[in-house]
Amino acid sequence: MKGKKAHVITYGCQQNENDSERIRGILLDMGYTTIDTNDDADLIIFNTCAVRDNAEQRVYGNIGALRNLKDKKPHMLIGVCGCMTQQQHVADYIKKRFSHVDFVFGTHAIYKLPQILYSAAEQRVFDLEEMEGIVENLPHNRESSVVATVSVMYGCNNFCTYCIVPYVRGRERSRKPEDIIKEVEGLAAQGYKEVTLLGQNVNSYSELPFSQLLNMVSEVSGIERIRFISSHPKDITNELIDTIAENPKVCKSLHLPFQAGSSKVLADMNRRYTKERYLEIIKSLKEKVPNIALTSDVIVGFPTETNEDFEHTLDVVRQVEFDMLFTFIYSKRKGTPAEKMEFALPAEEIKKNFDRLVSLQTEISARKNKALEGTVQKVLVEGYSKNNKEFLTGRTDGGKIVNFPEDKSLIGDIVGVKITNSAPWWLAGEVVTYN
Ligand code: SAM
Ligand code: SF4
Ligand code: F3S
């Protein structure tokens, strides 16, 4: 494959980003170089997300748009993988509808990519094999040289009634602590400063209490910051809260999806906590970690959600005052229990509720960021800002994005940035203290 060019396009969450880094690692080992455009590519791989319908429609649109390019360059291989294609009905649809797609594989088959590519040069390949184990030691071609994600567990056992993830990522499988530590040590040796431990529900990590794993990772010298995503409220322990409070390397931030404010809707979602329990966890977090930055995921318009239920979502947002929220309109997923539920509200009403939630959160985020103006924040410098190369960008301990003018190569350092300007989703400032 020497000299051939590959373009890997990623949709979805950090798990998929991490998978794409491994796909690129395998391709580089095979002799490919990786590029960021389709036109010059000899290989295009779509690593897809199935969590909502709009993500799926975007992928179909982009696959369809490649038909002409494939006609001009018949030797070019096009493949689709990831969460969408782990579903048989999607693989069947792609097979029928997009004859220019050469290969399809699911979330369990990344390690087989070389074989799949060799076979796809001869005939179309559809490989949705499921696998219970974990394949260690796949090569990894990481996006950043400063911050890295490390998967600690795969899959999900929670079966929230709206969610496709357990069907496309399989049952929970935890990596051995020694494999995780070895990976983190390798990252530290390469100069990485921050790791984010990844899993659909990291606090149901099964090899050890998750707080213990955090403490072990924090002992790796060179790693200065540790984050983790996502946590499920039903599995939050006092030990975890204490570890966030006490371990200086564990960032003072938590992403804790609450999904809905109404306890009735939470029960219909099979979330296994109530509004009261969620608020209790937040109270304990705020008591033990006073400056904790909190973020969450919320779904608006779950089928059984009424306007009265939705008021509880607004109430949670007002009480907690999250730093940031990821807000989603419910999307029906084939094969999930919620697919069969009747909608309590029409689509226009759901959209109105969604807009109310977004404007409430925008106001809270703007206010919280404004309050940081004039303060000095410790920022780990990740690299150049995507939009303006005269600026560097990094994150505060709480995970907020900070942009500031480049003055010398600070990438990889933790610097003190005085915040001079803010918006709901970012901060800006100037470096006042160096490492
Ligand atoms: N495992 C993580 C958790 O439980 O927090 C993340 C799950 S998912 C990858 C990310 C978010 O997508 C969820 O927290 C949820 O808010 C949202 N989501 C999942 N299924 C959805 C659906 N059918 N419609 C709309 N949003 C959905
Ligand atoms: Fe989906 Fe629930 Fe699992 Fe998160 S915990 S991935 S929302 S089923
Ligand atoms: Fe992630 Fe989407 Fe799959 S959110 S786990 S890439 S369905």
Tell which one of 52, 201, 203 to mutate to probe ligand 2, the residue whose CB is within 8 A of the most ligand atoms: 201
Q: What is the mean predicted confidence (pLDDT) over 184-197?
A: 98
Q: What is the mean predicted confidence (pLDDT) over 113-130?
A: 93
State the pLDDT at residue 149. 98
Is-above-0.85 flag for pTM? Answer: yes
Please tell me the distance between residue 126's alpha carbon and the centre of ligand 2 in angstroms.
27
Question: For the chain, what is the mean pLDDT?
Answer: 96
Give whole-number Cα distances, 319 to 235, 324, 405, in Å: 21, 14, 36
Confidence grade of residue 131 (pLDDT, cut at 50, 70, 90)? confident
Ligand 2 site residues (CB inside 6 A) read 156, 158-160, 163, 165-166, 200-201, 232
User: Nearest 5°: CA angle at 404, between 383 and 429?
Assistant: 145
State the pLDDT at residue 133. 86
Nearest protein CA to atom 11 of ligand 1, as residue: 297
Whether residue 429 is predicted with pLDDT greater than 80 in this model: the reply is: yes
State the pLDDT at residue 67. 96
Kindly report, residue by residue over 157-189, the tens digit of the pLDDT.
999 999 999 999 999 999 999 999 999 999 999
- Sheet containing strand 225-229, strands side by side: 147-151, 194-198, 225-229
Whether residue 7 is predicted with pLDDT greater than 80 in this model: the reply is: yes
Tell which one of 15, 165, 231, 299 to mutate to probe ligand 2, the residue whose CB is within 8 A of the most ligand atoms: 165
Q: How many CA atoms lie within 13 A of 43 on its CB side?
A: 28
Confidence grade of residue 202 (pLDDT, cut at 50, 70, 90)? very high
State the pLDDT at residue 18. 97
Kindly report, residue by residue over 286-300, the tens digit of the pLDDT.
999 999 999 999 999
Bridge partners (DSSP) of residue 418 are 376, 430
Please tell me the distance between residue 27's alpha carbon and the centre of ligand 2 in angstroms.
30
**What is the position in ligand 2's atom list of the atom closest to the CA of 163?**
1
State the pLDDT at residue 387. 84
State the pLDDT at residue 129. 86
**What is the position in ligand 1's atom list of the atom closest to the CA of 326?**
16
State the pLDDT at residue 388. 84
Any residues with CB less than 8 A from the CB of 346 and at least 6 apart, and which? none
As given in the structure block, the two tokens for residue 201 are 């529900």
Confidence grade of residue 25 (pLDDT, cut at 50, 70, 90)? very high
* DSSP states of 246-292: H-TTB-SEEE---B-S-HHHHHHTT----HHHHHHHHHHHHHHSTT-
Nearest protein CA to atom 1 of ligand 1, as residue: 200
Ligand 3 site residues (CB inside 6 A) read 12-13, 15-16, 49-51, 83, 164-165, 168-169
User: Nearest 5°: CA angle at 253, between 398 and 270?
Assistant: 140
**What is the position in ligand 2's atom list of the atom closest to the CA of 232?**
5
Q: Percentage of the chain surpassing pLDDT 90?
A: 94
**Distance of alpha carbon 68 from alpha carbon 46, whole angstroms:** 17
3-state per-residue secondary structure call for 127-147: ECCCCCCCCCCCCCCCCCCCE
**Distance of alpha carbon 154 from alpha carbon 142, whole angstroms:** 19
As given in the structure block, the two tokens for residue 94 are 């792609």
Q: Residue 296 belongs to what H/E stretch?
A: strand 293-300
Please tell me the distance between residue 234's alpha carbon and the centre of ligand 1 in angstroms.
15
State the pLDDT at residue 407. 72
Confidence grade of residue 406 (pLDDT, cut at 50, 70, 90)? confident
**What is the position in ligand 1's atom list of the atom closest to the CA of 255?**
5
Q: What is the mean predicted confidence (pLDDT) over 345-355?
A: 98
**Distance of alpha carbon 75 from alpha carbon 41, whole angstroms:** 10
Q: Residue 324 belongs to what H/E stretch?
A: strand 324-329
State the pLDDT at residue 164. 98
**Distance of alpha carbon 295 from alpha carbon 281, whole angstroms:** 14
**Distance of alpha carbon 215 from alpha carbon 369, whole angstroms:** 30
End-to-end distance of the chain based on CA atoms, in angstroms?
A: 43
Whether residue 207 is predicted with pLDDT greater than 80 in this model: the reply is: yes
Nearest protein CA to atom 1 of ligand 3, as residue: 13
Map out the domains of the chain with their CATH numbers. 5-127 (3.40.50.12160), 147-369 (3.80.30.20), 376-433 (2.40.50.140)
Q: What is the mean predicted confidence (pLDDT) over 126-136?
A: 88
Question: Which ligand is closest in space to the CA of residue 49?
Answer: 3
Bridge partners (DSSP) of residue 430 are 418
Confidence grade of residue 409 (pLDDT, cut at 50, 70, 90)? confident
**Distance of alpha carbon 271 from alpha carbon 278, whole angstroms:** 11
Residue 59 three-state SS: helix
**Distance of alpha carbon 287 from alpha carbon 84, whole angstroms:** 41
Give whole-number Cα distances, 283 to 161, 288, 371, in Å: 27, 9, 21
Tell which one of 16, 153, 156 to mutate to probe ligand 2, the residue whose CB is within 8 A of the most ligand atoms: 156
Residue 374 three-state SS: coil
Kindly report, residue by residue over 296-328, the tens digit of the pLDDT.
999 999 999 999 999 999 999 999 999 999 999
